[in-house]
Amino acid sequence: MKTVLLIGTLDTKGQEYLFVKNLIEARGHKALLMNAGVFEATISADISAEEVARAGGESLESLRSKSDRGHAVTIMKRGVEAVTKDLFDKDAIQAVLGLGGSGGTILATAGMRTLPVGVPKLMVSTLTSGDIAPYVDIKDICMMYSVVDIAGINQLSSQILSNAAGMICGALEQAIPEMESKPLIAATMFGVTTPCVTRVREKLESEGYEVLIFHATGSGGRAMEGLIRDGFITAVADITTTEWCDELVGGVLSAGKDRLEAAANAGISQVVSVGALDMVNFWAMNTVPERFKDRKFYKHNENVTLMRTTAEENAQLGKIIAEKINAATGPTMLILPLKGVSMIDAEGQAFYSPEADAALFASLREHLAKHIKLVELDAHINDDAFASAVVTELLRLMKEAG
């Protein structure tokens, strides 16, 4: 028997949770009800709203007396996060299911995001047909559209909620095939650095490692950094650091200001490079801000437009990346491809700009700390020689680290 944590605001959605709880328990599992609502509950919960509020740092009575919904959500969200993580750490729950509208979705998915990747997480929400990025973030949360509001049991909602109960139970009952346990190495890739990263992956796999590749689309970089922080990753081939272009210039695929910090803080071996630092990402051409109208663009496809970074921007990127690398507590190396940083930054290609690349490389040399080894190769990033050097140096760093 396994246990599902049901998170919701039981002041308005009592019968829906009892309906789902009964379905889960009919399958031979246990369901724990957590009340994340502030007002009087319509049914009793295994984890009361008072417990959640206290875990968030305030009493339920205080929250009710203030009549400030925004403040209450902040406190209850903090409480849901703390209680959910504590239950999981004690092996008291093995999956999480939430039902709700905007408030319930914010609260339940906050608890889900405290759990490791691989733990079943399902959110039945009225918001699923819209932008769900804030709720899923970088965790494996499954979002299911409720179609109708979570407001009573009817012919349609009973089918949808039954499906949800079946899905979460199915995830618990799923037999996961055993796989050979190998050390995990993370690598970052973009379409324009694919040849390099593919060779790196093949070479590392031939050495007995398993390589997880993260597409450098903002969420990809953040997902990788999250797994590093959670202790899954042995080493990093951070070949494609392009997300910093979007963070600096204002593109749509930023991974945030923390990018390049997780491996440095974890003290694991890392080889870092400058893949795709020649481009900032936007959606279709008509979405590019007016202030960039005189820049050089490349139409990647109908929905993605690339903008060439300038020498000035590359100088700033070099300083930022050097400072991030300088903070590393583990074996770290920066490796530069002097003949181009992406597939379209090569002689004869759309973004070829020796001047812009030179500004990037000069800034990195200027700001990189002396204890960080710098390797410069007279090669393009997608040359086999560059991929071989990344693998050789990463394996050496890992061996030296023991």
SS3 163: helix
Domain 3-173 homologous superfamily, CATH: Uncharacterised protein family UPF0261, NN domain (3.40.50.12020)
- Distance (Å) of CA 395 to CA 17, 386, 398: 52, 14, 5
Give mean pLDDT, residues 355-380: 98
Q: What is the pLDDT of residues 217-234, one digit of tens each?
A: 999 999 999 999 999 999
Q: Is 367 a residue whose pLDDT tops 80? A: yes
Edge-to-edge strands, sheet with 30-35: 30-35, 3-8, 95-100, 121-125, 142-145
User: How large is the angle between the packed helices 384-401 and 194-206, nearest 10 degrees?
Assistant: 40
User: Above pLDDT 70, what percent of the chain?
Assistant: 100
d(CA 181, CA 35): 39
> CA 320 from chain center: how many Å?
21
Q: Is 238 a residue whose pLDDT tops 70? A: yes
Question: How far is it between the farthest Cα atoms of the chain?
Answer: 70
Fold of 184-401: Rossmann fold (3.40.50)
Q: Where are the domains of the chain?
A: 3-173, 184-401
- In the chain, helix, strand, coil percent, each to 5? 45, 20, 40
C-alpha dihedral (183, 189, 194, 196), degrees to nearest 10: -60
Other C-beta atoms lying within 10 Å of the C-beta of residue 165: 25
Q: Is 402 a residue whose pLDDT tops 90? A: no
d(CA 176, CA 171): 10
- Helical (H) or strand (E) element with 395: helix 384-401
Label residue 12 by pLDDT band (50, 70, 90). Answer: low
SS3 155: helix
The pTM for the full model equals 0.87
Q: What is the pLDDT of residues 102-143, one digit of tens each?
A: 999 999 999 999 999 999 999 999 999 889 999 999 999 999
Strand 210-215 with 373-377, pairing: unpaired
Give mean pLDDT, residues 200-212: 97
What lies within 8 Å, CB to CB, of 371 at 6+ separation is none
Q: Which residue has the tokens 């050390």?
A: 183
Q: What is the pLDDT of residue 13?
A: 62
Q: Is 91 a residue whose pLDDT tops 80? A: yes
Phi, psi of 124 (to 5 degrees): -90, 115
> CA 392 from chain center: how many Å?
28
d(CA 148, CA 129): 12
Q: What is the pLDDT of residue 291?
A: 97
Mean pLDDT for the chain overall: 96
Q: Is 275 exposed, middle or buried (0-12, 13-18, 19+ CB in 10 A)?
A: buried
Q: What is the pLDDT of residues 318-352, one digit of tens each?
A: 999 999 999 999 999 999 999 999 999 999 999 99
Q: Is 150 a residue whose pLDDT tops 90? A: no
d(CA 381, CA 240): 10
Q: What is the pLDDT of residues 241-285, one digit of tens each?
A: 999 999 999 999 999 999 999 999 999 999 999 999 999 999 999
Task: Say yes or no: do domains 3-173 and 184-401 share a fold.
Answer: yes
Q: What is the pLDDT of residue 194?
A: 97
